[in-house]
A and B are shown apart, each in its own frame.
Chain A
Amino acid sequence: MNIPVGIEVVDSTLFSSVDPVVLAGSMCEACGAHVFPAMDSCPTCSSLDVTKVSLPTEGTVWSWTTQHFAPKPPFRTDEFAPFSIGYVDLGPVIVEGWLVGKTEWTIGEQVSLVLAKAWTHEGAPVFTFGFEAVT
């Protein structure tokens, strides 16, 4: 995968592309189940015949919460502020991730995938994936 110079991500195996941002999952050739992050076996039917796939980048909020206290380590942050986490229905799979840009959400709301700054490491930002509201 091509990661642009100067962009560091929390785990490169989560992405099939960083610019534009696309998540990498896997699809079972036997039963069609999609999972994220990619696995080398299928937890639904136990098949080993799985293929890495790019996941859709737009979906709807399936559930959400806002985290009002700082999680214990290994959580990393520059400075804690309440943040939202949600499950986003991407169609073939529902993915858990940050919901960025606000802390009040509505189930069913349209969102799209973005890169979001997670923390600073040696002066440089480290990014994870998140979803922001489609305006």
Chain B
Amino acid sequence: MSVNANDIFIVGAARTEFGRFDGEDNELAETAVRGALADCGLVWSDIEFAVGGTNGETKPDNLVSRLGLTGLPFVTVKNGCATGAVALMTARNGLIAEDLNVACVVGYDNHARGAFNVSPARYGLGDWYGATGMMVTTSYFALKIARYLHEHGISQRTLGYASAKAFDYAQEHPYAWRRKPVSVDEAMDADMINDPLTRFMFCAPDAGAVSLVLARGSKAYDLCETPIRLASVALRGRRPGSFEVFSPWLSPGDRTSPSIDAAKAAFDLAGMTPADVQVAQLQDTDSGAEVIHLGETGLLAHGEQEAAYRNGEFEIDGRLPLNTDGGLLANGEPVGASGLRQVHEIVRQLQGRADGKQVPGAPRIGFTHVYGAPGISACTVLISEGAQ
């Protein structure tokens, strides 16, 4: 097999268990980095370029004080829920632009309990918006899925299917946070948070870290038996007509979405279509988000979600195994780590060494999607070229 020297591969990957963590944020990040280095047999001094992302207050570029003062360029990124994917994109771009061979990416966070508390001023909104109870992420997710279910004739029970699927995957995943199974009925009957979403239909902020090692094609097979090619990574922002969190107004007319745009760009750049995907990760901040993103990324036609869940299409032996590590619903969302968790899971699946349930039949093509405030999305297409 010929390898293009300009292709970028993931050669090492590691994550921490997600959940509550009492130590320092940097300890989490260091654990993940050292794990990713060990995964491909490298040491920190081999890394030529690094990118770190967190939504918290610590400085990722100061990780060098724990990992080694090698003088390497270390870039910090902070793009909300898309932080991990942006870190990955930045590292890829750095390798190509600087003509380097090996880069390390790390994303981490260690959030306080409970829903995010965001200041209206950070979003350019007046104090009235928070004071009247509208600066609430859960109500946004509820308002968005309520409209989507209405427009596409999808039942509320579909949201229960999405939750039950997530916790079913998680019970066999050693790094997931919430591993207790939840039935569709339990999900539907749980305390209502924001109609139509119950307690089991939301992810919660928590702690965790993920790290990846990237290498150019000329080096990838020296470092890893089955490196996974980063066929594309695309980041897009919102256009008029999108429906984003903390929006006092929406424009009428056709709806747009940064997820639609980012997914299309990622598929186009990779020369692939949604029908090629054999294992996928979608942003499931809530059950409704997964339902919406199935449609927006093109993995499924709008309105077909309910039947697909019922028919088991997203289960491990289904047509499109989805969020096979339990997704955000079961892993929680350490914002800086979450997008890289998705990539980590796909890499492991394509390498045939999943930490939890393994997709059968040696899948070759994977897809990841993150989405978040203030209306950004990033997608990747990941391809296994097999062992050389």
Contact = CB atoms under 8 A, between A and B. Distances in A.
A is bound by B = yes
A133 interface: no
A10 B114 CA distance: 27
A131 to B, nearest CB: 13
A107 B146 contact: yes
Interface string B240-273: 1000000111111000000000000000000000
A14 B192 CA distance: 31
Contacts of A43: 240
Given A33-B240, A68-B194, A95-B248, A85 B147 contact: no
B2 interface: no
Contact of B133 (A13, A64, A83, A86): A83
B210 interface: no
B194 A67 contact: yes
Contacts of B192: 66, 68
A72 B114 contact: yes
B193 A75 contact: no
Interface in B173-203: 191-197
Interface residues of A, number: 43
- Interface residue range, chain B: 35 or more
B133 A85 contact: yes
B117 A10 contact: no
B195 A66 contact: yes
A104 B185 CA distance: 22
A39 to B, nearest CB: 9
Nearest to A35: B249
Nearest to B132: A128
A47 interface: no
Contacts of B138: 67
Contact of A69 (B128, B131, B193, B196): B193
Interface string A60-98: 001111111101111111000001011101011111101
B139 A67 contact: yes
B128 A11 contact: yes
A118 interface: yes
B143 A94 contact: no
A64 B250 CA distance: 14
A75 B143 contact: no
Contacts of B316: none
28 contacts: A10-B132, A35-B249, A36-B249, A63-B144, A65-B139, A66-B195, A67-B136, A68-B195, A71-B136, A72-B114, A74-B135, A75-B136, A76-B131, A77-B133, A85-B139, A85-B143, A86-B143, A87-B143, A87-B147, A92-B252, A94-B252, A95-B249, A96-B134, A96-B143, A96-B249, A107-B146, A119-B131, A128-B128
